[in-house]
Structure 1
Amino acid sequence: MDARALAALAANPGCRRRALLDGAGVPKAALAESLGVPSGFGQSQFAFMRGHAFEARVTRDGGAELLRLTHACLGGGPEPAPGDARTPDLSAAGPEGRVARTALALREAADAGAWTLLDHPMLALDVAGTPAFLEPDAVVVAPDGTWTVVEIKSFPMIDGAADPAKVGAAARQAAVYALALADVAAGLDPAPTVRDRVLLVCPKDFSNLPTAAAVDIRKQLSVTRRQLARLDRVEDIAASLPPGTTFDVTRPAAELTAAVDAVPATYAPECLAACELAFHCRARSRARGEVTALGRPLRAELGALSTVPQALAAARGEAGDPEDPAVAALRRAGALRAEALAGRSA
C-alpha cells in the first residue's frame, strides 16, 4: 500500500474489496483489463516524465530552492544559505532498512539544529495490522525542530492558486505521510513537532519554475486517522472468502469476476477518480439498484432505503414506514410530481 492507496481507503473505509486487493498487492489496472472493464485510470507517460523532470529541478543543488520555498512559506529559523543544508544519504537494503535509515537521519537532524532535507525518505505506518511503506517526495527538518512534509506536484499553480480537487487529493496523501512521520517523532525525547501544514510545490503559472504554498491538513489528518482505524484487517477479509479464491489476472474473466464479487465493495461516484476497478463496481452497483451509485449525500438522506426500487416504492406509497422522515419526504415529493405532471397534461 502506498500513500495514494491509503488516502483512497481513508476516503472510503467501508470498501473491503479495495482494502484486500491493495493489501495483497493485486495490480488493479491489470485486473480491470482482465475483467473486460479497463479503467484508463492513472497518469500518462508524458505527465509522469514532466513530473519527474520538475521534481528533479526542485531538489537539485542540495535542495536549495526547496528549502528557500519552505522558509518563505513556513519559516522555521534563519534563512537557509546555499550549500549549508544537510542532505543525508538514505540508501539501505530493502524497505525495512530504508525505514531504519530514515529514522536515524531524522534523529540526527533533530539534534543538529540545522536545515536538513530528506529526499524520498521511507516511512512505515501500521494499517489494520499490516505495515505500509510510504515514500514522500521530501521531508524538511528546520532549525527550530519542526518537521514538514513536502509534496511536489506537476499541476500548475496559476496566480497563486491550483485546482482545488488536485490540491485536496495532495492534502489527503500528505496526511498519510504526516501520520507516519508523527510515529517517528513520538519515539524521540523531546518529540519534535510535525507540522499540520504541508508544503505544496507546483510549477508557477505556465512555466517550469517552482512556486509553493502551505496547505493546512488538520482536517485531513483527523479524518484519515479515524478512517484508517476503522479498516478491517486484511487477513480477516481474506478468511471470509471461499477456499481457492484467486485474483491472478491471467485467469479467465468469469473466474476473476466471481472472485472479485465475493469481496464486498462500497461504490460511490468519487471512486471514479481514485480506483481502477471503479467501472466494474459501478456496473455492479447499478445492476443492484444501490442508491450509493447516485452519491453519498443522497444515500445519507434516504436512511434505511438503500436501493432505488425501495425509494421509488416509498415515493408511490407502496412501502416504507410513514413515520420515517425519508419516506414522508419521498411521498411528498411523489405527490408534488404527480400534481405537476397532471397540470402539464391538462
Structure 2
Amino acid sequence: MPAPRRRETALRHRLAELRGPDVPAKALDARALAALAANPGCDRRAVLDGAGVDKAALAGALGTPSAFGQSQFALTRGNAFEARVKADGGAELLRLVRERLDPRAEPPERARVPDLSASGPEGRTARTALALREAVAAGGWTLLDHPMLALDVAGAPAFLEPDAVVVHPDGGWTVVEIKSFPMLDGSADPAKVGAAARQAAVYVLALEQVAARLDPPPRVRHRVLLVCPRDFSNLPTASAVDVRKQRAVTRRQLARLARLEDIAEALPEGTCFSPEQPAQRLTAAVESVPAAYAPECLATCELAFHCRDRARADGAVTSLGRSVRAELGGLTRVGDVLAAARGEAGDPADPAVAALRRAAALRAEALSGAVPAAAATGEAVCP
C-alpha cells in the first residue's frame, strides 16, 4: 500500500478511536465547515469535526447543552419549499438560473437530471464527478439534485451536499442554495444572506477541486443562485450572490488549519469523546485539546457554552472578544489587564499598557470629577 494511503487509513482509524467504539460519524456539512474556517485557531473544533463527533450530544453530556437546531416546523417548511422549487424536473429552478445568471443561453426545455445514487459518500462523490463530466461533454442544461462533493480539510476529506448544481450549455457550473427565509420586496435579511454566501463558498471550493481534474477544466461560476420564498408566499424567487470574497476568505482560513494528523498524535493515549463515558473522563478528554473561544462561537458551535465557562474561569481575555484580544497585545489574562491598568504590572512603554492606564485615569476622573494625583504618575487609579 502506498505511503499516502497508509497515512490516510491510519488517520481514519485514529479518528474512529477518538469518536468512540461503534459511534457513527456525524457528517461535516458546509455550514459547520464555514464556521470552522472562521476560527482556524481552534484545534478542539477541528479534531471534533474531523472525527465526526456529535458536538450537540457531547455538550449535553458535559452539562452545557447547546441551543442549536431548527424546529420541526421549520424543517418541514424548508423541505416542502425545496420540493416545490425542484418539481417537474427542476423546470422552475432552471428558469431562475437562466433568468438571473445566463439570460443569453438557450431555454432549459430539455434539461437532464441524472441519477446520482451510489453506495456511501465516496461512491456518491465519484458518481457526481462522472455526472459533471458527462454533462459538460453533452452540452445543454443539466441539473444535479443533491450531488456529493469532497473537500480536503486539514488533511482529511469532508463530504458536502449542496442543494443543487446546474451545468450551463457553455459548460459552466453554478451552485444553487435553497433557503426558507423570505425575500421581501426583492431583498432578504443581510445576516442570513451572508451565512448562505459563506456556505455556498465552501461548495464552490469543492467544485473547483472537481473541475481541476478535467481537461480542460470547466468554469466554476463565482455567482451562486440563492432561491427563497417571495414575500410571504411559498412561490420561489431568486437572487445572484457573488461569493468571491467569501471564497477567498474561506480558502485562506482552511489553509491555516492545523493538520488533523498532528492534532490527533498530540492527544494522550486513550482519549475518547464518546458521550457515553463518565462525565469526569469526558471533560478531561475535551480539555486535552486546546480551544480558541470567542463570543462569536455562541452562534456557530455547540460547545460554545462549555468553552465560554472555561475561558471565564481561566480569566482569558478571549472571552471579551477577538477585537479586544487584538488590542491587548501580550496581555492574555484579565488579571494581568487589571494589574496593568492599576499600574501594578506591565511596561509603561507598551502601547497597550499605556492605553489601559490612560483609560483607568479617565474612568477615575469620570467617577470622582477630578484626575487623581496617582493618575499622573501612572500609579493605581482604579478603585
Q: TM-score, normalised by structure 1?
A: 0.96
* 2:33 corresponding residue in structure 1: 6
Q: Which amino acid aligns with 2:150?
A: A
Deviation per residue, 1:108-130 (Å, 9 max, x gap): 11122211110000111111110
How does 1:181-196 map onto structure 2 within 5 Å? Answer: 181-196=207-222
Counterpart CA distance in 2 for 1:257 and 1:81 is: 55
Q: Give yes or no for contact 1:76–1:142 (8 Å, CA) kept in 2.
A: no
* 1:25 corresponding residue in structure 2: 52
Q: Give yes or no for contact 2:59–2:306 (8 Å, CA) kept in 1.
A: yes
Structure 2 gap ranges (5+): 1-27, 373-383
Deviation per residue, 1:260-284 (Å, 9 max, x gap): 1111111111111111111101111
* 1:226 corresponding residue in structure 2: 252
Counterpart CA distance in 1 for 2:165 and 2:32 is: 20
* 1:129 corresponding residue in structure 2: 155
* 1:164 corresponding residue in structure 2: 190
Counterpart CA distance in 2 for 1:81 and 1:340 is: 69
Q: Give yes or no for contact 2:364–2:371 (8 Å, CA) kept in 1.
A: no
Q: Which amino acid aligns with 1:78?
A: A
Q: Which amino acid aligns with 2:45?
A: R
Counterpart CA distance in 2 for 1:118 and 1:207 is: 26
Counterpart CA distance in 1 for 2:318 and 2:100 is: 40
Q: Give yes or no for contact 2:162–2:177 (8 Å, CA) kept in 1.
A: yes
Question: Offset of 1:223 from its aligned partner?
Answer: 0.9
| Corresponding residue SS for 2:37 | helix
1:57 alignment partner, one of 81, 84, 98: 84
How does 1:313-328 map onto structure 2 within 5 Å? Answer: 313-328=339-354
Counterpart CA distance in 1 for 2:74 and 2:280 is: 34
* 1:267 corresponding residue in structure 2: 293
Question: Offset of 1:344 from its aligned partner?
Answer: 8.4
Q: Give yes or no for contact 2:361–2:371 (8 Å, CA) kept in 1.
A: no
- Output the aligned Cα RMSD: 1.6
2:317 alignment partner, one of 278, 291, 299: 291
How does 1:182-261 map onto structure 2 within 5 Å? Answer: 182-261=208-287
Q: Give yes or no for contact 2:155–2:261 (8 Å, CA) kept in 1.
A: no
Counterpart CA distance in 2 for 1:167 and 1:198 is: 12
2:101 alignment partner, one of 58, 74, 79: 74
| Corresponding residue SS for 1:173 | helix
Deviation per residue, 1:41-91 (Å, 9 max, x gap): 111221111111111111111111111111111116424244x11111111
Q: Which amino acid aligns with 1:71?
A: R
**Structure 1 residues 176 and 154: CA distance shift in structure 2, 3 A:** same
Q: Give yes or no for contact 1:139–1:147 (8 Å, CA) kept in 2.
A: yes
| Corresponding residue SS for 1:66 | helix
Counterpart CA distance in 2 for 1:288 and 1:165 is: 32
1:87 alignment partner, one of 109, 113, 116: 113
Q: Give yes or no for contact 2:94–2:108 (8 Å, CA) kept in 1.
A: no
* 1:48 corresponding residue in structure 2: 75
Deviation per residue, 1:194-227 (Å, 9 max, x gap): 1111111111111111111111111111111111
- How many residues are aligned here? 345
Question: Offset of 1:164 from its aligned partner?
Answer: 1.5
| Corresponding residue SS for 1:22 | helix
| Corresponding residue SS for 2:186 | coil
Q: Which amino acid aligns with 2:39?
A: N
Q: Give yes or no for contact 1:76–1:143 (8 Å, CA) kept in 2.
A: no
The 4+ residue runs of structure 1 with deviation greater than 2 A are 76-82
Deviation per residue, 1:229-259 (Å, 9 max, x gap): 1111222212212221111101121211111
Q: Which amino acid aligns with 1:29?
A: A
Q: Give yes or no for contact 2:163–2:176 (8 Å, CA) kept in 1.
A: yes
Question: Offset of 1:321 from its aligned partner?
Answer: 1.7
| Corresponding residue SS for 2:143 | strand
Q: Which amino acid aligns with 2:345?
A: A
| Corresponding residue SS for 1:78 | coil
| Corresponding residue SS for 2:115 | coil
| Corresponding residue SS for 1:159 | coil
Q: Work out whether 1:15 is the aligned partner of 2:42.
A: yes
* 1:339 corresponding residue in structure 2: 365
Q: Which amino acid aligns with 2:160?
A: L
